[in-house]
Chain A
Amino acid sequence: MTLLSVENLSIRFGTPDGDVHAVNDVSFDIAAGETVALVGESGSGKSQIALSILGLLAPNARTSGRIMYGGRDLLSLKRRELNKVRAKEIAMIFQDPMSSLNPYMTIERQLNESLELHEGLRGAAARKRVLEVLDAVQIPDARNRLRAYPHEFSGGMRQRIVIAMALLCNPKLILADEPTTALDVTVQAQIMRLLDDIRRDMGTAILLITHDLGVVAGSCENTLVLYSGKVMEHAPTRALFAEPQHPYTRGLLRAVPNIHDEAGALHAIPGQPPNTMRALTGCPFAPRCVDAIAACHQIVPPLEGDALRQRACIRPVEELT
């Protein structure tokens, strides 16, 4: 059952030098209880997609398309209506646990305010729920740390608190925006396992935004590969890794260092991401693509395929290197 449906979403940012085309005509669905990965390099627009779902884009953003949730278009909701969806229906886990908690408020206050707002819980009832959630994200000795401030926790613990914050009201969907970027590898693994447990135990759907393919491989059913704000390939994760059908996906997978490879230079995709100040006139990846032909620079490739997997490339799969 489709929970959230992003339809032809485009996001532009007005700047004094002209519009930045951050997201171009992106569509995808998230089913209840499903984990979808949004993969792309920095600046590919993946975080902006998540922010647009909750109406948290910067004030200079302009959107088009629809984001359907529960029969309503989130993009056109009034702030008052949107506030009822935020945290209660769709919660977000932010990227940087160091700065996304308010340094001037105790952990307990930051956690219980959404309970107060959405569930009407106060006092002992709110504290009970807060402790439940802190236990779920494995914060040791949570009861005695309720009155602590963010700076008194380590980075990994703060990320757990941010996750706990997202879980409080049992949302149906969690938008996890690079939840592990700021953490070291062992903590990353713990956090990913934690998210996986949450999804299994509570049936929460997760939109995982990351640039780390390793994280995706372990945990997501479907993956969207984003480049310059455009979906390049959308496929079940297993199939995507086994046989990538887009030159960009192939390049990305080649760039993942392999433990069995002999030591040597790492693979990289040559060139730079394109300038988002211009509207797309061809495939955004064409300038860096080993398989590009003249037509690639002139035609914006449509996202085509069957219900299971789609790709945006005008060259047949068989002809790709």
Chain B
Amino acid sequence: MLQYTFRRTLAVLPTIICLIVICFFLMRLAPGGPFTSERPLPPAIMANVLERYGLDQPLHVQLWTYLKNIFFHFDFGPSFSQRDRDVNDIIAAGFPVTLTYGFWSAVFVLALGIPLGIIAALRQNSLWDYIMTGFAIFSQIFPNFVLAPLMVLTFTLAWGLLPGGGWNGGQWEYVIMPAVALGTSYLANVARITRSSLLEVLGAPYIRTARAKGLAERTILWRHALKPTLLPVISYMSPVFVYMITGSVFIDVFFSTGGIGQSFIDAAYTRDYSVILGLAILYSVLTFVLNLGVDLAYAAIDPKVRSGLK
């Protein structure tokens, strides 16, 4: 297992380098640049600025310098639009915020979604099942950009229970609404997937074998059915996790949390090359780490996958 993790980690390095190169050129292909504005700068000043950020160099030299700084100094360069801040600072400021509410959002989704799905499956076609299905439909027609304003209207403006935005160092009152608004539609999906997965597992011949042993239904659920039920949930959650902890642009903007999604939007508008690249790298590394995590979770559950890893 360790060896497998190591091999996967090595294999991801070339992928990330390719990604950097592609993003690097894609950004330059887009019209405009970090210092383009409605009123063009006088040529002398422009030349000065470009020189300051190394943009006067040929592209391949710029790329080489960039890569060198990343791999030898772990320096993702200065921001082009925010003076005196570099990419490392921006990530260090915004990422903990998104990581915090993203994490709690994931906890909310799993801790509620899986039990809901299990109950719905065990009480198939009962009131619980219908409530769950209704909830799933509800969360599909109320995506987070509808749900978030509704929540603010209710909990902030009408009842005054929770602050309508801001972060305040991540106190729980400030985390709840972003986390719930971000997670609700995934919660419904997790519940739905858990429900159908459990129903399928409970119909499997090996569950009948377990019943033939005289085991109580509760034991069968926990000991025999839960693991296989969770496999599709894990697959589903893998990309969702990345999306959650890198933050939703909408959530960051709407709740003014100061998370990384906000930085991404700003950087894209101002053609802040280094910030865009830095965030793209962050996303891809996270994607890799979480995919690896999911594969390892799969291996932990499914012995067939485990023996495939050896």
Contacts and interface: CB of A to CB of B under 8 A. Distances in A.
Interface of A: 54, 56, 79, 82-88, 91-92, 94, 96, 99-105, 113-114, 117-118, 149, 151-152, 162, 165
Contacts of B208: 56, 94, 100
Interface in B207-222: 208-217
B214 A101 contact: no
A117 B210 contact: no
A104 B228 contact: yes
Contacts of A101: 206, 209
A96 B224 CA distance: 18
A117 B205 contact: no
Given A56-B208, A100-B206, A114 B214 contact: yes
A149 B211 contact: no
Nearest to B301: A104
Contacts of B204: 99
Contacts of A114: 213-215
A113 B215 contact: yes
B302 interface: yes
Contacts of B206: 99-103
Given A86-B211, A102-B210, A113-B213, 13 more contacts: A79-B217, A86-B212, A94-B208, A96-B205, A100-B206, A102-B206, A103-B303, A104-B227, A104-B302, A113-B223, A117-B214, A151-B303, A162-B209
Contacts of A104: 227-228, 301-303
For the side of the interface on B, what is the size category? 20 to 34
3 tightest A-B contacts by CB? Answer: A86-B214, A149-B303, A83-B214
Contacts of B212: 54, 56, 86-87, 91-92, 94
Given A83-B215, A117-B215, A103 B210 contact: no
Nearest to B211: A56
A54 B212 CA distance: 7
Given A86-B214, A94-B205, A117-B213, A152 B307 contact: yes
A215 to B, nearest CB: 21
Contacts of A83: 214-216
22 contacts: A83-B214, A85-B214, A86-B212, A91-B212, A94-B205, A94-B209, A94-B212, A96-B205, A99-B205, A100-B205, A100-B209, A102-B206, A104-B301, A104-B302, A105-B223, A113-B223, A117-B215, A118-B214, A151-B303, A151-B304, A152-B307, A165-B209
A105 B216 CA distance: 17
B309 to A, nearest CB: 14
Contacts of A103: 206, 228, 302-304
Contacts of B211: 56, 86
Contacts of B223: 105, 113
A85 B302 CA distance: 32
Contact of B214 (A87, A151, A162): A87
Contacts of A82: 214
A97 to B, nearest CB: 10
Contacts of A86: 211-214
A152 B213 CA distance: 23
